[in-house]
Amino acid sequence: MASSTTKLSLASASLYTSSPLTHKNMNLPYPSFSFFPKTKSVGRISMSVATNVSRFEEITMAPPDPILGVSEAFRADNHEMKLNLGVGAYRTEQLQPYVLDVVKKAENLMLQRGENKEYLPIEGLAAFNKATAELLFGADNQVIKEQKVATVQGLSGTGSLRLAAALIERYFPGAKVLISSPTWGNHKNIFNDAGVPWSEYRYYDPKTVGLDFEGMIADIKEAPEGSFILLHGCAHNPTGIDPTLEQWGKIADVILEKNHIPFFDVAYQGFASGSLDEDAASVRLFAARGMELFVAQSYSKNLGLYAERIGAMNVVCSSSDTAARVKSQLKRIARPMYSNPPVHGARIVANIVGDPSLFNEWKAEMEMMAGRIKNVRQKLFDSLSAKDKSGKDWSFVLEQIGMFSFTGLNKTQTENMTNKWHVYMTKDGRISLAGLSLAKCDYLADAIIDSYHNVS
């Protein structure tokens, strides 16, 4: 016969305790607001009931991404003349996404070969790693011939930068990374999350809307010896302002003098000028000086592989033995981070670079994309010059390179661009010319002139 007094409890109650829980690795108590049960009596039946308070109560809402948030606002706008000049993604003259013809051909080759989807090694696809290093440095470069480059496939530029940041944190404790002011918005996030300290060096001169070369050199000289100097290999983001080849030589001189380590972010090789070799000139100049250096690569822009997350981290070392050891540690970092990289984008790159016919077709398409942006840049300059009667010099638009133009507009002026003119852009005044058509250059010029002259 059943007892007259029965005690029930929820199955999940065994998961909870009345004392604070402790994290097994950190020996830290969980917050006291945690999701603990309380005992509730109903007649002669008592049971444990979970309180309606989340363990995640103290987690605040993260702010929207300053770049990706622009696209969300753009999609919600129904104005017929609206422009999305925030995200750095190539668009056709009809402002539609573009999949390169050569990419489609490379993917068809993969289907014909019936290639499998097995795991890649931690370091990635061997054919890709060989192709990407040779594309960057040149197949005949001594660092390639002497096997002085440690190359590991990464998750596009962001993931490759993050791998390098982890290597710096582990093997160069306390070393600082110097970042240009301004820079791509994610650079600071990457080093913050890796626990790597950073500071800024002067780069953009608002008076000239050009390069503050003297300030840049002075700040690199003043940095603690052995710092990492983050440099944009070509098409500086967000300014579109690059040093000349002569200036690159002087930058290399100062870095050598201070025993710094150059760290290149190359996101636009071939996409800036239309020439793979021209856009790699800065990196090759430093390698020719015998310098050890880091180079992160991305194929999001030059092959339009935004969603494939394909890139690489390259470390040029003083010897092949050192390169082998560095590569082993990059693999060691990658293993618990993401285990191994995706294969699809790697095979696309390897197929295109490894086939002379496809490679030439790719170069032609890159020239076409770079050429469209150059034409838009010229048309915007012409429209600004014709419409603005104040005598302001807009020539900086032509002097910049790549998909971005730094307009010099401040935050309040950029808000006017969006609120009045439905032009969506980042608050630092950067616009992506890849998202502009020739047909809308006049409209954009009106918006810029109004915002510059009528909004303080």
Q: Which residues have a catalytic role annotated? A: 184, 265, 301
Instruction: Name the one residue in this structure whose structure tokens are 């100097």.
Output: 229
Q: How many CB atoms lie within 10 A of CB 204?
A: 22
Asked if 97 and 91 touch (Cβ cutoff 8 Å), the reply is yes
Distance CA 326, CA 56 (A): 39
Contacts of 72-77 spanning 24+ positions with Cβ under 8 A? 73/418, 73/424, 74/424, 77/422, 77/424
Asked if 455 and 413 touch (Cβ cutoff 8 Å), the reply is yes
Rg of the chain over all Cα atoms, to the nearest angstrom: 27
Identity of residue 248: W
Asked if 424 and 85 touch (Cβ cutoff 8 Å), the reply is yes
Q: Print the SS3 string covering the chain.
A: CCCCCCCCCCHHHHHCCCCCCECCCCCCECCCCCCCEEEEEECCEEEEEECCCCCCCCCCCCCCCCCHHHHHHHHCCCCCCCEECCCCCCECCCCCECCCHHHHHHHHHHHHHCCCCCCCCCCCCHHHHHHHHHHHHCCCCHHHHCCCEEEEEEEHHHHHHHHHHHHHHHHCCCCCEEEEECCCCHHHHHHHHHCCCEEEEECEECCCCEECHHHHHHHHHHCCCCCEEEEECCCCCCCCCCCCHHHHHHHHHHHHHCCCEEEEEECCCCCCCCCHHHHCHHHHHHHHCCCCEEEEEECCCCCCCHHHCEEEEEEECCCHHHHHHHHHHHHHHHHHHHCCCCCHHHHHHHHHHHCHHHHHHHHHHHHHHHHHHHHHHHHHHHHHHHHCCCCCCCCHHHHCCCCEEECCCCHHHHHHHHHCCCEECCCCCEEEHHHCCHHHHHHHHHHHHHHHHHCC
Distance CA 349, CA 132 (A): 8
